[in-house]
Amino acid sequence: MELQSEQRAAVSVATLWEIAIKHRSGKLRLTFGIENLPQLIETQNIAIINITAVHTCASIGPEPTTKDPFDRLLLGVCAVESMQLLTIDRALIDHPLAWRGK
């Protein structure tokens, strides 16, 4: 899918953090060193969004049914940055801040 001029691709530092945790625990195998992940993302013209206090405290509409703190934080980033969360997580897919393909 090609992004429209007003759309942008971004990834939260929270996502990188979660990937690193899963990789180090053995739950996620990578074909490259985890230390190269930020550079790999940036070479794909994907912005990396730093986490701020505003993201952690943002109003996100209905709270997700999941108790995963990363899910809550990602929704907070989306709310503050006026973005939508691209996810296949069934607990998040129907959230108003989740992206729905056309």
Structural domain count, the chain: 1
Does residue 5 form part of some domain? no
Does residue 1 form part of some domain? no
Q: What pLDDT is recorded for position 1?
A: 35
Structural domain span for residue 58: 10-81
| 4 exposure class (CB count in 10 Å sphere: 0-12, 13-18, 19+) | exposed
Determine contact, residues 14/73, Cβ cutoff 8 Å. yes
pLDDT along the chain (102 residues), means of 10: 59 96 96 96 95 97 91 96 93 92 58
CA 36 to chain CA centroid, Å, is 18
pTM of the full structure: 0.84
What is the full DSSP assignment across 24-84? HTTSS--SS-GGGHHHHHHHTT-EEEPP-HHHHH---SSPPSS--HHHHHHHHHHHHHT--
